[in-house]
Chains A and B, each alone.
Chain A
Amino acid sequence: MDTKNMKRESLSGRCIPVRGNDIDTDRIIPARYMKVVSFKGLGEFAFYDERFTSDGSLKSHSFNNDAYKGASVLLVNKNFGCGSSREHAPQALHRAGVTAVIGESFAEIFEGNCGAMGIPALTASPEVIEELMGKTEKHPGLEMEIDIRSAKINYNGVEYNISIPDSSRSSLLAGTWDSTASLLNSGSLISSRAENLPYINGFTK
Chain B
Amino acid sequence: MGKNLFNKVWDLHKVGTLDSGLDQLFIGLHLIHEVTSPQAFAMINERGLHVMYPERTFATVDHIVPTENQTRPFTDTLAEKMMEALELNTTEHGIPLYDLKSENQGIVHIIGPELGLTQPGMTIACGDSHTSTHGAFGSIAFGVGTSQIRDILATQTMAISRPKVRLIKISGSMPQGVYAKDVILRVIKDLGVKGGIGYAYEFGGTAITKLSMEERMTICNMSIEGGARVGYINPDETTYEYMKGRPFSPKEDNYKKAEDYWNSIKSDSDAIYDDVYSLNAEDLQPMVTWGINPGQSVEIGENMPLLRDLEQDDRETVEQAYNHMGFKEGSPIKGQEINVAFIGSCTNGRISDLRVAAEIAKGRKVDSHVRALVVPGSKHVAKQAEDEGLDKIFIEAGFQWRNAGCSMCLAMNSDKLKGRELSASSSNRNFIGRQGSPTGRTLLMSPAMVAAAAVSGKVVDARDLEGV
Contact = CB atoms under 8 A, between A and B. Distances in A.
Contact of B42 (A34, A37, A105): A37
Interface in B91-143: 119, 121-122, 127-129, 131, 143
B120 to A, nearest CB: 9
B466 to A, nearest CB: 38
Contact of A108 (B24, B227, B412, B431): B227
B156 interface: yes
Contact of B229 (A26, A39, A108, A179): A108
A113 interface: yes
Shortest Cβ-Cβ A-B pairs, 5 listed: A87-B145, A116-B147, A113-B145, A35-B78, A203-B254
Contacts of A91: 146
B271 interface: no
9 contacts: A26-B433, A31-B411, A79-B227, A82-B227, A85-B131, A109-B229, A113-B146, A179-B159, A182-B19
Nearest to A185: B18
Of A54, A87, A180, A194, most B-chain CB atoms within 10 Å:
A180
A166 B122 CA distance: 28
Nearest to B53: A194
B351 interface: no
B365 to A, nearest CB: 32
A77 to B, nearest CB: 9
Contact of A112 (B21, B160, B250, B434): B160
Interface of A: 20-22, 24, 26-27, 30-32, 34-39, 49, 54, 78-79, 82-88, 90-91, 105, 107-109, 112-113, 116-117, 165-168, 170-171, 174, 176, 178-180, 182-184, 186, 189-190, 193-194, 196-200, 202-204
Contact of A32 (B82, B128, B154, B436): B436
Contacts of B20: 167-168, 170-171, 174, 176, 179, 182
A79 B250 CA distance: 41
A102 to B, nearest CB: 17
B38 interface: yes
Given A22-B194, A37-B39, A194 B145 contact: no
B211 interface: no
Contacts of B85: 37
Contacts of A82: 193-194, 227, 293
A85 B410 CA distance: 13
Interface stretch (B312-320, B387-395, B450-458): B312-320
A170 B19 contact: yes
Nearest to B44: A180
A198 B82 CA distance: 36
Interface stretch (B8-16, B202-210, B277-285, B331-339): B8-16
Interface residues of B, number: 84
Nearest to A110: B145
Contact of A35 (B82, B147, B163, B316): B82
Nearest to A172: B20
Contacts of B18: 179, 182-183
A197 B15 CA distance: 12
A31 B12 CA distance: 36
Contacts of A30: 433, 438
B155 interface: yes
Nearest to B163: A108
Contact of A107 (B39, B128, B227, B410): B227
Given A83-B429, A108-B197, A194-B156, A165 B161 contact: yes
A20 B320 contact: yes
A51 B323 CA distance: 17
Nearest to B52: A190
B148 A116 contact: yes
Contacts of B76: 35
A183 B145 contact: no
B150 interface: yes
A121 to B, nearest CB: 13
A151 to B, nearest CB: 15
A63 B33 CA distance: 31
A51 to B, nearest CB: 11
Contacts of B254: 202-204
A117 B20 CA distance: 15
A179 B13 contact: no
Contacts of B429: 24, 26, 83-84
B36 interface: yes
A203 B258 contact: yes
